A = this chain, B = another copy of it.
Amino acid sequence: MKALIYHGPGVKALEEHTPPALAAAGDAIVRITKTTICGTDLHILKGDVPSCTPGRVLGHEGVGVVHQAGPAVAAFRPGDHVLISCISACGKCEYCRRGMYSHCSSGGWILGNTIDGTQAEYVRIPHADTSLYKIAPGLDKEALVMLSDILPTGIECGVLNGKVQPGSSVAIVGSGPVGLAALLTAQFYSPSEIIMVDIDRSRLELSRRFGATATVDNSNGKAGEKIMAMTAGVGVDCAIEAVGVPASFLLCEEIIAPGGTIANVGVHGVKVDLHLQRLWSQNITITTRLVDTVTTPMLLKTVQARKIDPARLITHRFKLGEIMDAYETFGNAASTHALKVLIEA
């Protein structure tokens, strides 16, 4: 089969690769019909993710059709249309019992990381019963590719951890795909203000179309001052960090109101300063989270009920044979204005 292989920092190739086979009774083999590229894939290619070793098929998002199901798989049969979760969950360990699938003792984020992933014609999904989701007839499968990772990440790490509520004020720092996913899902809870912060004007413009009530261009580094002025010096109830660098986390510390919550979504590579000398008395909460994908069933319902249209995040479309171009487009988002690139297998 064709697969996109990671060959070490900076090197990837679309190659012929042995198709996966069932390895455990609970595995399923899924024929990929649609996949996409994640910012994390770019991190891997930079050499930032040591757990992912050369030879690995990349990708942890996608929809497809069950090709084979192991003898212990109860919920799926060959031919079933399925959504693949970026998180594999056994459903049995202590973490899974608590809904913390991200830390599953035999799963978590392994697809396209420690086992072969979805940027291929076929993929092996461990713990299939609790890592795949049936797709109801009539649902837009392109839209559902956004439910593998980006929408659960936006809502779980950003919106739910940030306790967004009707009438609350929200700032989202970073309007990349994950920040926009947070923006879309924050609206499930009817906050009265959603301020998007970025340095890219076209993304800020897009944010308004996606429901932001205000945007702040932080090119001059003065977003903190602006947001404090916009909120009468109080700050916001919820600040969502969706970049992953110290400056954007510090901005969240600057604009958080007493009693508010900083919900970190970004993947950080270095430590940040936590200004406890000011914040110790501010009754704030800071949260971190690797997505658990526990919201997937709920998200499927909201897509089905047309409360949200995740396909709005898709800007470009490619065939699997063109995946090297897709990486090029996605990797140069500043010039291509790419959000999510859809890859048809």
A residues with a Cβ closer than 8 A to B are 25-26, 71-72, 74-75, 90-92, 94-100, 102-103, 106, 129-130, 165-167, 187-190, 192-193, 213, 244, 249, 258-259, 264, 266-277, 279-290, 292, 294, 297-302, 304-305, 307-308
Contact = CB atoms under 8 A, between A and B. Distances in A.
B276 A167 contact: no
Given A100-B259, A167-B305, A264-B276, 14 more contacts: A74-B90, A74-B106, A75-B92, A91-B92, A102-B281, A166-B188, A166-B298, A188-B189, A190-B302, A271-B275, A281-B288, A281-B289, A284-B287, A285-B285
A258 B288 CA distance: 10
12 contacts: A91-B91, A92-B130, A166-B307, A167-B298, A167-B300, A167-B301, A189-B190, A192-B305, A193-B305, A267-B280, A274-B274, A283-B289
Main secondary structure of the interface of A (DSSP, over half): loop
Contacts of A308: 190
A14 to B, nearest CB: 29
B268 A277 contact: yes
A190 B294 CA distance: 18
A305 B71 contact: no
A129 B298 contact: no
Contacts of A103: 258-259, 283
Contacts of A287: 283-286
Contacts of A288: 276, 279-284
Given A276-B249, A288-B282, A302-B167, A190 B192 contact: no
Contacts of A266: 280
A194 to B, nearest CB: 10
Contacts of A258: 95, 100, 103
Nearest to A213: B305
A302 B100 CA distance: 22
A193 B301 CA distance: 9
Given A258-B103, A284-B288, A74 B92 contact: yes
Contacts of A91: 91-92, 96-97, 130
A298 B213 contact: no
Contacts of A249: 274, 276
A289 B285 CA distance: 9
A153 B104 CA distance: 28
Contact of A72 (B25, B94, B188, B299): B25
Contacts of A193: 305
Contacts of A244: 280
A302 B168 CA distance: 9
A307 B190 contact: yes
A297 B166 CA distance: 11
A237 to B, nearest CB: 10
